[in-house]
Structure 1
Amino acid sequence: MALVCALTNEVPETPVVSPHSGAVFEKRVIEKYLLENGCDPISGKELKAEDLIELKTPALVKPKPPSATSIPATLKTMQDEWDALMIHSFTQRQQLQTTRQELSHALYQHDAACRVIARLNKEVAAAREALATLKPQAGVMNAPTAIPQPALASEAGGAASHPMEQAGMNAEVIQKLQDKATVLTQERKKRGRTVPEDLVSPDQVKSFLTVASHPGLHSASVPGILALDINSADHSKILTGGNDKNATVFNKDTEQVVAILKGHTKKITKVIYHPNEDTVITGSPDMNIRIWHVPTSQTQLLLRCHDGPVTGLSLHPTGDYLLSTSSDKHWAFSDIRTGRLLTKVIDTAEVGLTTAQFHPDGLIFGTGTVDSQVKIWDLKEQSNVANFPGHTGPISAISFSENGYYLATAADDACVKLWDLRKLKNFKTIQLDDGYEVKDLCFDQSGTYLAIAGTDVRVYLCKQWQDLKIFNDHTALATGVRFGKHAQYLASTSMDRTLKLYAIE
C-alpha cells in the first residue's frame, strides 16, 4: 500500500473497523461495498459509512504528484479491478450458500409431495375398484354398497335393520344353478368309489399329533375363536373369526398373519374362504354379511339381508351366490358379485334358524332350527322338501358328505346323527358322553372321514363310523374343525384363543 501511495503521490487509505462484525477493511473498499449493498459484508446487518470506526495510523509524508502518464495510473486501475473482484467473489459465495439451502428445502418438499400423490393415487384406485362393484338399481332402498375404508368406522349395527328389496330368481340364475349341478353330478359319477391316491390312511390318522399351536391370531382381552375355514385351493391359508370382532387370514406354512379384517361391530360367528379367489365372507350378530378382498383387507360388499343375527353361511358351488340364515326366521340367497338379494324365505314353522349348508350339487340345502328340526330345501322352488326330526335342542351344526348321500347333524343333545338322503332316514347315531357339546362338524373332501369339534376334537372313519383319534389339547370348548387337502392335516379352533394343527409328526 505504501508503494502504491508513493507511485500515485497519495496518502494511504485509513483502515476502518465495522462495529457489527469487528472486521477491518480499507475505507475506500468498504465504502464502495456499502454504497452498493448497505450492509456489513460479514454479518449481513445494516451498516452505514458513518458507523465505521477509523483506526489511528501514523501519518505519512504526502509525496509530490507524479506525471499523469506514468505507471501509477495503470496500477490504480488494477487495484480497483482487484477490489471489485474480491467483492464479487464474496457475494458469489454468499449466494451459493443461500441457493444450496433453498435447493435442499425444495427437494424435501418435492419428496413429500410425491408421497402424498402416491397415497392419493392408491386411495383413488381403491375407491374406483369399490365403485366398480356397486351397481345401484333405481328405486331400491338400502341396497348393498361398496364401502371405502373411511366409511367403515362410522357404520352402526342398527343400519342393517332395513331389509333389502328382493330381485327374484330369474330363469338365467336357475339355469346357471342347474348347469353347475349337472357338471358336478357327472364328475362325482366319474370318480365313483375311488379315493385320492394322496389321501391319508386311517392308520396315519391314528398317528396324528399336535404339530402346531397358534395363540396370537386374535385379541387376548376378548378371548375366543368362534369360526374356522380353510382355502380349498391354497390349503396353507386358514381363516378364523373371533370374539374380538375381527377375522384373521393366517398362512400355516410361513406362520404369518396375512390379513386382519376389521369392520364388524360384534363378534364374528361364521366365515367362508372363497375356493377360487382371494376373497372371504364373514357373518356376525351385528346382522351384516361382509365380503372382503384379502390383499387390501377391505370390505368389497356389505350385505344387509336380515333383521336378526346371522347364524349360518354357505357358498354355492358356482362361487357366485351365498346362502345365509338368521334368527329372524328367514334364509336368504344373494348374489355376491352384485350384492343383490335374489330371494328371502321364511321358515315354514316360523322359528329361528341356526345353521345352513349347501348340498355338494347346489340344488338343495339344509338348515337347522332352534326347535331341533333339520330341514331340506329345494333352492329353485324355494320350498321345504324334507324334514329330519330326532334331535332335542337347537341344531348346532350340519354337514353334507362329498358323495352327496350322507348328511351329518348335531344339536345340544350330545349326539351326532347321520342321515341317508336317498331314503330320508337316520341310519346311524353317534352317542357321545353326557354333557358333551358339539359346536362344529365336517367331512373331508373325499367323504372318508368325519371330524367333530366341541368338548374335544374327534375324527371318525365313515361307513364303519369308528373313532380314529381324539384330541384333548384345547383347554376350552373347540368351536371349529376343518380338514386340509387329502386330510393330510386337521385344523381346529377353540375358546382358548388358539388355532391348533394336527398331522403326522
Structure 2
Amino acid sequence: MSLVCGISNESPEHPVVSPVSGCIFERRLIEKYITENGTDPINHQELTVDQLIDIKTNVVTKPKAPTATSIPAILKQLQDEWDAIMLHSFTQRQQLQTARQELSHALYQHDAACRVIGRLTKEVTAAREALATLKPQTGISATATTIPQPAMAMEAANVPNQPIEQAGMTTEIIQQLQNKATVLTQERKKRGRSIPEELMSQDYIRNFKTFASHPGLHSAGVPGILSLDIHAADTSKILTGGNDKNATVFNKDTEQVIAILKGHSKKVTRVIYHPEVDVVITASPDTTIRIWNVSTSQTVQMLRVHDAPVTGLSLHPTGDYVLSTSTDQHWAFSDIRTGRLLTKVADQASLGISLTTAQFHPDGLIFGTGTSDSQIKIWDLKEQSNVANFPGHTGPITAISFSENGYYLATAAEDCCVRLWDLRKLKNFKTLPLEEGYEIKDLCFDQSGTYLAVAGTDVRVYLCKQWQELKVFNDHTAMATGVRFGRHAQYIASSSMDRTLKLYGLN
C-alpha cells in the first residue's frame, strides 16, 4: 500500500484508470459497476477490479471560505441557486414557445397542402367525368351491348330550349314490355296465393328496435339524407342520396362505405339500386339523371332529358328503362343502357302543372305520377296516354307506391293522410289519417305486399288489408325522408335530414 500525503491511494474516493478504455473513474463507482456488469462502462469490454490502475495524486483539501459559513452567506448562495434555476426555466419556456410556433406553422402548411390535393383530385374527377360523357360508354353489365349516345341528343342537351331528339317507342320495345308484363303477372298471381315462409310476422315487426345508426355516410357540412334504396338481391347493400350532392353505397353487414358517387352539381333527391347488376341511378335538381358503375364509382351514362329539376324516378321491371318526371311538366322514358330518350310526354290537360313523383306498376305497362295540384294520374306506357285520375288529396303529391299484389296504390300529399286506391275499381277504399301537421316524404310496400311503411315526421309500419298500425319509430331527430324494407321484411331502413341511416330489426 502506497501513501501520498498520508492518504491511501486505495481509498474509495481515489481515481483509477481502466486499461481497457483508458478512462479515469472514481474507484468506488467503477468497482460497483464491475461487480454488477463485469465490463468497462465505456466500451463494454471485459474488465476486473484487479486490472484497475491507481493514479498517484496529492489530495488537496479546500476548506470553505469564511464568508460561506455564516447564515447570510448561505442564504445568498441559496438565492443565487434560485435565480439560476429561474433563468434556466425562462430559457426553457422560450424554447418551448418557439417550438410550438414552428409546429403550428408546419400544421398550417400541411392543411394547405391537403386542400390543394383535394381540389386537384376533384378537378381530375370532373375532367374524367366530362371525358366519359364525350366518348362511347362501356356497358353497365358484362352481357349488355351498348350504343353510343346520339351526338344530336348530346348537343341538344347543351343548347337552351332546344328539343331533345326522341328515338321513339319501337315495335320491338313495346313487344319487350308486353312480354315482361305477361311473365310478371303470372308470377305475381302464383306468389299471391301464399305468404313467403321467410316473411317476418306482424308480431316480430312489433318488436323491431333500432339496431344500427350510421351518421357518417354524407357530409356534416351540408347535413341531410334525401333518398334511399336497397339492392333487391343483396339487401346488405344500401344506397343513399344526400344534400351534399353525393350518393353513397353502404354495406350494412360490414358497416363499410363501398362507393361515394360524386358528379351532380346539386343535391341528390332520387336514387335507385338496379336489382340485377351493380349499377345505381340517381337524379337531381341539376336536371340530370346519372347511371353509375358502383365498382368504379364512375358515371357510365348521363341523361339530359329534362329542362328543369328531376322530381321522380322509377326503374322499369325489365331493368333496361327508366321513367322520370320533372317540374318541366313532362314525364320521360329513357334507355339506361344507351342513354337514348325514347319518349317525352306532357299532360295536355294540365299544362303549367309540375310533376312531383313517379312510380311504375309492378307489371310495367302502366305507371302513376303525382302533380303539384294534388292529382294522381295513371298512364298507359304503350299508348303514352293518361287513362285514369285519382283526385282527393290537397296539396302537392309527395309520394306514391304500388303494392306488389298489383291492385293497391298508396299515395300521400301535404294533407296529413295516406290514401289507398283500388286499381280495379279506380276508387279510394281506405284513408289512413295522421296527426295534424304530420308530413309524409316516402311510402313503400314490402316485396310481398303485406306491409306498408311511411316515412316523414316519424317512421310507421302498417299491416295491409287490416290497415292496422304495427310499429312507430321515433329515433330520428329530424324529418325522415326515405324508408325501405329488406328482403322478406327481415329489417327496415330509414334515412333522415338528421344525416343518419337507421336500421330496425330484431338484431
| TM-score, length of structure 2 as denominator length | 0.71
Q: Displacement of 1:136 after TM fit? A: 4.4
Q: Deviations over 1:312-365 (max 9, x none)?
A: 000000000000000000000001111110000002312100000000000000
Instruction: Kindly provide the amino acid, as one letter, of the partner of residue 503 in structure 1.
Output: G
Q: Structure 1 residues 295 and 160 mapped into 2: Cα distance closer, same or farther (>3 Å)?
A: farther
Tell me what 1:237 maps to: 237
Which range is displaced more, 459-468 or 347-356? 347-356
Measured at CA, do residues 202 and 335 of structure 1 come closer, stay the same or move farther in structure 2, by a change above 3 Å? same
1:377-405 deviation line (CA, Å, top 9, x unaligned): 00000000000000000000000000000
1:186 alignment partner, SS class: helix
Find the aligned partners of 1:180 and 1:400 in 2 and give their Cα distance: 17
Question: In the alignment, what sits opposite 1:372?
Answer: 374
Q: 1:135 matched to which residue of 2?
A: 148
Q: Secondary structure at the match of 1:142?
A: helix
* Cα pair 2:136 2:149 within 8 Å, conserved: no
Q: Which residue matches 1:219?
A: 219
Residue pair 1:160, 1:287 contacting (<8 A) in 2 also: no
Q: Distance in 2 between matches of 1:501 and 1:280?
A: 21
- 1:160–1:306 contact (8 Å) kept in structure 2: no
Quick one: distance in 1 between partners of 2:169 and 2:137?
Answer: 25
Which residue does 2:355 correspond to in 1?
353
CA distance in 2 between counterparts of 1:140 and 1:324 reads 17
**Matching of residues 59-458 of structure 1 within 5 Å:** 130=137, 133-137=146-150, 139-140=152-153, 142=155, 162-347=162-347, 348-350=349-351, 351-458=353-460
Label 1:212 to 1:338 Cα distance change in 2 as closer, same or farther (>3 A). Answer: same
Residue in structure 2 matched with residue 63 of structure 1 by the alignment? none
Residue range with higher mean Cα deviation, 232-241 or 192-201: 192-201
Letter of the 1:290 counterpart: R
**Percent same amino acid among aligned pairs?**
76
Greater shift, 164-173 or 366-375, is seen at: 164-173
Distance 1:442 1:219 in 2: 26
In structure 2, the CA distance between the partners of 1:223 and 1:417, relative to structure 1 (3 Å rule), is: same
Distance 1:129 1:167 in 2: 18
* Structure 1: segments with no counterpart, 5+ residues: 1-122, 145-157
The offset of 1:164, in angstroms, is: 2.0
Measure how far apart 1:163 and its partner are.
Answer: 4.0
Letter in 2 for 1:458: R
Mapped to 2, the partners of 1:265 and 1:159 lie a distance apart of 18
Report Cα offsets for 1:111-130 as digits up to 9, x if no partner. Answer: xxxxxxxxxxxx9xx96883
Partner of 1:68: none
Q: Compared with structure 1, are the counterparts of its residues 138 and 499 closer, same or farther at alpha carbon in structure 2 (3 Å cutoff)?
A: closer
Tell me if the contact between 2:138 and 2:300 (Cα under 8 Å) persists in the aligned partners: no
Deviations 1:256-287 (A, max 9, x none): 00000000000000000000010000000000
CA distance in 2, matches of 1:355, 1:236: 26
Q: Name 1:474's counterpart in structure 2.
A: 476
- Distance in 2, Cα, partners of 1:444 & 1:131: 34
Contact 2:137 2:148 survives alignment (8 Å): no
Q: Secondary structure at the match of 1:203?
A: helix
Q: Structure 1 residue 464: deviation in Å?
A: 0.4
SS in 1 for 2:172: helix
Please give the TM-score of this superposition, normalised by the length of structure 1. Answer: 0.71
Q: Does the 8 Å CA contact 1:492/1:500 hold for their aligned counterparts?
A: yes
Q: Would you say the 8 A contact 1:143–1:340 is kept in 2?
A: no
Preserved CA contact (<8 Å) 1:163 1:305: no
CA distance, structure 2, for counterparts of residue 137 and residue 261 of structure 1: 25
Structure 2 residues not aligned, in runs of 5+: 1-127, 140-145
What CA deviation, in whole Å up to 9, does each residue of 1:62-99 have, x standing for no partner? xxxxxxxxxxxxxxxxxxxxxxxxxxxxxxxxxxxxxx
TM superposition shift of 1:190? 1.8
| SS of 1:265 mapped into structure 2 | coil
Return the alpha-carbon distance in structure 2 between the equivalents of residues 252 and 357 of structure 1.
26
In our comparison, the structure showing a higher alpha carbon Rg is: 1
3-state SS of 2:502 partner: strand
**Cα gap change, 1:268/1:161 in structure 2, threshold over 3 Å: closer, same or farther?**
farther
Tell me the secondary structure at the aligned position of residue 155 of structure 2.
Answer: coil
Q: CA separation of 1:369/1:216 partners in 2, compared to 1, >3 Å: closer, same or farther?
A: same
CA contact 2:416–2:439 (8 Å) conserved in 1: yes
- 1:491 maps to what in 2? 493
Root mean square deviation, CA, Å: 1.9
Q: Which amino acid aligns with 2:321?
A: Y
Name the amino acid aligned to 1:219: S
Preserved CA contact (<8 Å) 2:408 2:422: yes
- Alignment check: 8 A CA contact 2:447 2:487 kept: yes
Change (3 A) 1:161 1:201: farther
Deviation at 1:135, TM superposition (A): 1.8
Q: Which moved more, 1:416-425 or 1:188-197?
A: 188-197
Residue by residue over 1:292-331, the C-alpha shift from the partner in whole angstroms, topping out at 9 and shown as x without a partner, is 0000000000100101100000000000000000000000
| Alpha-carbon distance between aligned partners in 2 of 1:186 and 1:232, rounded to the nearest angstrom | 20
How many angstroms does 1:143 deviate by? 6.4
Equivalences for 1:31-50 in 2 at 5 Å? none
Alignment-mate amino acid for residue 375 of structure 1: K
Contact map agreement 2:156 2:162 (CA 8 A) in 1: no
Is the contact between residue 163 and residue 307 of structure 1 (CA under 8 Å) also seen in structure 2? no
Q: Following TM superposition, by how much is the alpha carbon of 1:162 offset from its aligned partner in structure 2, in angstroms?
A: 4.7
Measure how far apart 1:139 and its partner are. 4.8
Q: CA deviation at 1:191?
A: 2.0
